[in-house]
């Protein structure tokens, strides 16, 4: 008898491996109970898997994230996880509702195959299959189209439909983008509705633009609103509640503390690149002639922290400016350099008399010199430079050309940002009266605190002493706390319960509009 039992064990294991005593898979059990149809208890996972692979191959070419979707279903042996979990409770219908109403975000519902998903749900709900294998292609297609639409919809709202770093050459803000781990977690979600609600943009700016978009009738206005809704969908670095923003189209610097404005002022930003820039760059690449090189002084978009202030700054003149401007001015006027307090260096050694340089000996594209403008009233950076880490040698600074702030279009600089009220800005940064009065003294301004008058007078006396040489040098000051700075580009936003619009000074709206073409209504 014992021997007979031992003979049965391998037989039972073989039968189990073949699936004879296997329970119906989750999808078969769910549909069988819901429709009270025993047919689904015969759901064959092997046969379904074959259909699923075929459907995956036919659809995945049009998916945005095919590798992630394939990896997810590979981990779950091709099981229709979304249909199993969210068909019966109506969550797939709710997803269809969100997709159909994606128009409130400016999306085209066709992006998500909305009608096809709806049709597949209706076909499954009709329960008219005569054999269980007739349901396999419907379930497989519904599963995969749902997965793709669900990921795309959530990603577009959480991160935006385009990556700005891919379309703008001077966009250096590291915006967060979807990653495979996050998307796998989305597909494994236990509550589809909670996720769909959670991804709706919470920003007050976004909601104000969205409301204006839904109320707008003119196509131009709707276009601008859509573009800036997209900008507010981008996952920007965390600035915290206290930060400085420079908005290029507004030509404005604003220091925010929560929702309040600490200080606001006009700025001048980099000039727009030359018309036909791309074509001219191609011509320059071929010729190598500097005369063919088009100008591009656009201020880059970036995120950093203001970490120091320099009073009486020295200007290290960039090579591009030396070639395009300084070289010609020095050739035209031999005293231009000394009159402008510009020092010339050859192999890092100061040239004592730059006025004697024979510029005809040097071509401007191979200048062996470096140029630095010393501290003082004529310095192009004015009396203050505000420094933050970035790869473009960009900073905020004062200017001795105050007339620029009276212009409507203030895109006139070489790329750095000139600020209208540098002293007030410096006061906010240093954050205490003692440091602020020391900073004021460096630029010959009397202290605010009367107890600091003594050392101010001492400094002024030293400067006035003709028996000793007084050389104006840069002085460094640290802010009380490094302040986040974002240089951004927004052409429409909400302010005081109305939408403000600004011109597309760099043509970035046009470029973004083209990139969004397939996503928009």
pLDDT by residue for the chain (521 residues), tens digit each?
455 454 544 544 444 444 434 578 999 999 999 999 999 999 999 999 999 999 999 999 999 999 999 999 999 999 999 999 999 999 999 999 999 999 999 999 999 999 999 999 999 999 999 999 999 999 999 999 999 999 999 999 999 999 999 999 999 999 999 999 999 999 999 999 999 999 999 999 999 999 999 999 999 999 999 999 999 999 999 999 999 999 999 999 999 998 889 999 999 999 999 999 989 899 989 988 888 888 899 999 999 999 999 999 999 999 999 999 999 999 999 899 999 999 999 999 999 899 899 998 998 888 999 999 999 888 999 999 999 999 999 999 999 999 999 999 999 999 999 999 999 999 999 999 999 999 999 999 999 988 888 878 887 887 777 776 677 889 999 998 999 999 999 999 999 999 999 999 999 999 999 999 999 88
Length of the chain: 521
Collapsing DSSP to helix, strand or coil, 384 comes out as strand
Interstrand relation of 349-350 and 342-346 (parallel, antiparallel or unpaired): antiparallel
What's phi and psi for 253, nearest 5 deg? -105, 135
Active site residue 34: no
Marked catalytic residue, from 105, 268, 297, 397: 397
pLDDT at 239: 94
Q: How far apart are CA 417 and CA 364, in angstroms?
A: 26
Given CA atoms 184, 189, 193, 199 in this order, what sign does their dihedral have?
negative
Q: How far apart are CA 495 and CA 8, in angstroms?
A: 80
pLDDT at 106: 96
Q: How far apart are CA 277 and CA 219, in angstroms?
A: 28
Q: How far apart are CA 437 and CA 431, in angstroms?
A: 11
Q: How far apart are CA 443 and CA 145, in angstroms?
A: 66
pLDDT at 455: 79
* Dihedral, CA of residue 132, residue 133, residue 135 and residue 141, to nearest 10: 150
pLDDT at 10: 53
Marked catalytic residue, from 105, 268, 297, 416: 416
In the numeric block, the tokens 């009073």 are attached to 311
Active site residue 268: no
Who contacts 450 (Cβ-Cβ below 8 Å, separation ≥6)? none
453 DSSP assignment: H
pLDDT at 460: 83
Who contacts 474 (Cβ-Cβ below 8 Å, separation ≥6)? 310, 311, 312, 313, 314, 375
Question: Helix crossing, 180-187 with 66-75: angle to 10°?
Answer: 50
pLDDT at 13: 47
Which pair of structure tokens corresponds to residue 173? 């803000």
pLDDT at 468: 66
pLDDT at 450: 84
């Amino acid at each position: 008898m014992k021997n007979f039992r031992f003979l049965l064990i391998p037989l039972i294991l073989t039968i189990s491996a073949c699936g004879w005593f296997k329970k119906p898979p989750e999808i078969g059990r769910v549909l069988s109970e819901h429709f009270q149809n025993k047919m689904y208890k015969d759901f064959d996972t092997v046969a379904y898997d074959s259909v699923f692979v075929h459907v995956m191959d036919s659809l995945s070419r049009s998916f945005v994230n095919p590798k992630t979707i394939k990896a997810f279903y590979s981990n779950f042996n091709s099981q229709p996880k979304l249909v199993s979990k969210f068909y019966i409770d109506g969550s797939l219908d709710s997803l269809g509702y969100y997709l159909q109403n994606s128009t409130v975000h400016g999306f085209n519902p066709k992006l998500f195959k909305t009608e096809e998903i709806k049709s597949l749900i209706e076909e499954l709900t009709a329960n008219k299959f005569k054999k269980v294998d007739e349901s396999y292609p419907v379930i497989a297609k519904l599963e995969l189209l749902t997965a793709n639409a669900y990921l795309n919809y959530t990603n577009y709202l959480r991160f935006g439909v385009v990556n700005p770093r891919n379309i703008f050459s001077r966009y250096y803000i590291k915006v967060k983008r979807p990653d495979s781990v996050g998307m796998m977690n989305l597909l494994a979600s236990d509550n589809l509705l909670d996720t769909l609600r959670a991804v709706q943009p919470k920003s007050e700016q976004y909601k104000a633009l969205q409301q204006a978009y839904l109320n707008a009738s003119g196509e131009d206005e709707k276009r601008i609103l859509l573009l800036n809704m997209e900008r507010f969908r981008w996952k920007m670095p965390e600035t915290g509640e206290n930060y400085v923003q420079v908005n290029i189209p507004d030509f404005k610097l604003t220091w925010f503390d929560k929702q309040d404005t600490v200080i606001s002022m006009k700025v001048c930003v980099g000039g727009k690149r030359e018309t036909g820039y791309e074509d001219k760059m191609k011509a320059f690449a071929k010729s190598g002639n500097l005369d063919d090189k088009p100008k591009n002084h656009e201020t880059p978009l970036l995120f950093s922290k203001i970490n120091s202030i320099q009073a009486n700054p020295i200007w290290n003149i960039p090579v591009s400016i030396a070639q395009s401007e300084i070289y010609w001015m020095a050739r035209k006027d031999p005293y231009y350099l000394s009159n402008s307090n510009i020092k010339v260096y050859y192999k890092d050694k100061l040239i004592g008399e730059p006025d004697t340089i024979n510029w005809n000996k040097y071509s401007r594209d191979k200048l062996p010199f470096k140029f630095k403008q010393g501290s003082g009233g004529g310095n192009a950076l004015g009396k203050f430079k505000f420094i933050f880490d970035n790869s473009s040698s960009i900073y905020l600074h004062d200017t001795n050309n105050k007339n620029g702030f009276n212009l409507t279009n203030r895109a006139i600089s070489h790329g750095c940002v000139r600020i209208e009220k540098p002293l007030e800005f410096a006061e906010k940064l240093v954050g205490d009266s003692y440091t602020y009065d020391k900073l004021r003294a460096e630029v010959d301004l009397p202290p605010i605190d009367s107890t600091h008058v003594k050392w101010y007078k001492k400094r002024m006396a030293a400067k006035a002493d003709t028996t000793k040489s007084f050389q104006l040098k840069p002085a460094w000051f640290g802010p009380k706390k490094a302040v986040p700075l974002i240089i951004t580009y927004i052409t429409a936003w909400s302010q005081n319960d109305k939408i403000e619009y600004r011109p597309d000074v760099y043509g970035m709206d046009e470029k973004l509009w083209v990139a969004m073409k397939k996503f928009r209504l």
